[in-house]
Amino acid sequence: MSTAEKYLKPEVINQIKRLDLRAQFIVKGFLHGLHASPFHGFSVEFSEHRKYTPGDDPKDIDWLVYAKTDKYYIKKFEAETNITGYLVMDMSRSMGYTYRQELTKFDYAICLAAALCYLMIHQQDPVGLITFDRKIRQCLRPKTRRGHLGDVLSLLANLKPEGETDIAHSLVQVAAMLRHASLVMIFSDLLADPDKVMESLYRLRHGGHDVILFHVLDEAEVKFPFAGMVELEDPEDHRRLALDADAFRRDYLSELDSFREHYRRECFQAGVDYIGLDTSMQFDRALTEYLVNRAARG
């Protein structure tokens, strides 16, 4: 079985293709703002004017406006441009965890990323890949050619999530390296200080980027299926904690709900799409439902 087949089964491709991403996503407004971007000197739809400033090309002066106002104004244009997407993958050690599911959190994130990569390439939008732990580790430049999906999957399949993590710092690095408004798709378990992560997400939004945050947790992290005395280990620093699971369950689930709700609320305020997932959910169904719901909100 090839890498692509492992992470992107034909039935999943067929299900997602039926969505008609361009109709569901873009026409209904999800990425409309990114598709309408300023582009000077191109044969595209005329948009508006602005005052001439030194350094502007005199050829762009609207002489009809000058004749009426005796002032120099520059034509501005809007171009239908391709959306550039970036898959941003958390490579921290905790992403390699699974309790009893076939897929680790990282594998699950790869499945989601593969589906989105396929969709973007299918509609000829360039998509790139960035991986991080404490800082950015790998970066594949955005491309649209069909073979790029295989390149993305081959890189991901040969990586092991085993580093410590600094999500906030890594996302600040991402914001600094992106030169044009892009679609940034982040895949992480978000096991970090939420306030610092939100600061970095605001920085991405301030840069004009559209952001989708896929919060991927393991089934056990969401449902806490433990009983009796158990010993739990922190995957990042290996600290161990012995506890009575039955007595701890209610407090744990309450804290988890608060944790996810905090991200949901703060992301809403920031204009970031937050999607809470766990590895017991069929990733293709989870993605399909998200796309349809997002299109409906558009």
Tens of pLDDT, residues 215-249: 999 999 999 998 888 887 776 667 888 888 888 89
Tally Cβ neighbours within 10 Å of residue 94.
24
DSSP for residue 92: B
Q: Are 3 and 150 in contact (CB under 8 A)?
A: yes
- Residues 190, 76 within the same domain: no
- Residue-wise pLDDT tens digits, 49-80: 667 777 777 777 878 878 878 888 776 654 44
User: What was the pLDDT predicted at 212?
Assistant: 92
Which of the four pLDDT bands, split at 50, 70 and 90, describes residue 41?
very low
Res. 159: pLDDT tops 90: no
- Residues 47, 140 within the same domain: no
- Residues 135, 225 within the same domain: yes
Which among 233, 96, 228, 208 has a CA at the least distance from the CA of 159?
96
- Residues 51, 127 within the same domain: no
CA-to-CA distance for 103 and 127, rounded, in angstroms? Answer: 24
- Residue-wise pLDDT tens digits, 93-105: 999 999 988 889 9
Tally Cβ neighbours within 10 Å of residue 165.
24
User: What was the pLDDT predicted at 19?
Assistant: 44
CA-to-CA distance for 92 and 235, rounded, in angstroms? Answer: 9
User: Which residues constitute the domain of residue 57?
Assistant: 40-80
- Residues 65, 144 within the same domain: no
Q: Are 208 and 242 in contact (CB under 8 A)?
A: no
- Token pair belonging to 1: 């079985």
**Phi, psi for residue 76 in degrees, rounded to 5:** -110, 150
- Residues 188, 62 within the same domain: no
In the chain, the number of structural domains is 2
- Residues 246, 101 within the same domain: yes
pTM: 0.75
